[in-house]
Structures are given as C-alpha cells and as structure tokens.
Structure 1
C-alpha cells in the first residue's frame, strides 16, 4: 500500500472494492469492517468502523475500540473477526500521531 493511501477492509463491493473480492465469502467480516491508513510519513494505522464490525477487530489480540486508530508495526497481526487476518509488513517510520 503506498504512502498516503487508505484501504477499506470489508465485504461490501461498493465500500471496500479492493478487499471485497478477497473477503466476500468471509461471513465473520462485516461489510464495512475497518480501514488501514498509510500516512505520507510512513506510519500505518488501523481503525475499526463504528457500528460496522460486528465480530470486532484485534491487533495482536488487543480488541480495538471503534473509531480509535491503533498504530501498526512490522509483524503485527490484524484480525478481522475470528477467521480472517493479515500480518503487517513494510512499515518504515514510527510517527506517534494518528491520522486526522
């Protein structure tokens, strides 16, 4: 994902067109589940969508609070519900401020 980009994660083809093709059959992933932002400075943040992720989102077993960004680091495991997830790779910088 390029710097300055945002990726929506969910099963909705209109809301998350890039991820929906992969997640469409994952019943435990919500239509509008979470977003990942890769800032221009090189940090990455994941945010669970408020009133979206029925089965929750976790980073390294930490349950996310909707609408509160969590900074991602290399090697972090992000789980969308109990059966779908990914490991973070390629983070270069470690700024501390969440995206606005």
Structure 2
C-alpha cells in the first residue's frame, strides 16, 4: 500500500471495498473491523474501529482496545478475530530522528 494511504479491514463491502473481497466469508471478522494507515514518513499504524470489533484485534498477541492504535513493524503478526491473521511485510526502516 502506498505511503499516505489507508485501507479498511472488514467484511462490509461498502466500508472496506478492497479487503471485503478477501474477508467476505470470514464470520469471525467484523464488517468494520480495523484500519491500517501508511503515513507519508513510512510508518504504518493499525487501529481497531472505535466501536470495537466483535472478536477483537491483536498484534503479536497484544489485544487492542477499541479506538487504540499500534505502530506496525515488519514481521508483526496481526489477528482479526480468532481465525484470520497475517504477517506485516514491506514497511521501510523507521525514519531517523531529525538532528537538533
């Protein structure tokens, strides 16, 4: 996914048009489950929807609270409910801190 973009993860085809094609038959994934934002500086953030996902969202076995976000890194394992998971790949190195 290109920098500066967002993808919605869920089964609702009007809310998550890209992901719903792959998740439509996954009953443990909510219609509106989570979002991934790839910022212009190369960071990627996963956020569970504020109203919560019925079966929850985990990153590396850490449960996300509704509306909370976590920064993703290469190799992280994301779980959307108990039956759907994926490994994060292709995130660039973390941006260097600006010199004072």
Output the TM-score relative to the length of structure 1: 0.91
Query: Unmatched 5+ residue regions in structure 2?
Result: 96-100
Separation of aligned partners in 2, 1:50 and 1:37: 15
Query: Unmatched 5+ residue regions in structure 1?
Result: 96-100
In the alignment, structure 1 residue 9 sits paired with structure 2 residue 13 = no
Aligned to 1:35: 35
Q: Which runs of 4+ in 1 moved over 3 A?
A: none
Separation of aligned partners in 2, 1:53 and 1:40: 27
Aligned to 1:18: 18
SS of equivalent residue, structure 1 residue 65: coil
Aligned to 1:85: 85
SS of equivalent residue, structure 2 residue 19: helix
Alignment size in residue pairs:
95
Contact 2:52 2:65 in 1 (8 A): no
Aligned to 2:98: none
Contact 2:35 2:47 in 1 (8 A): yes
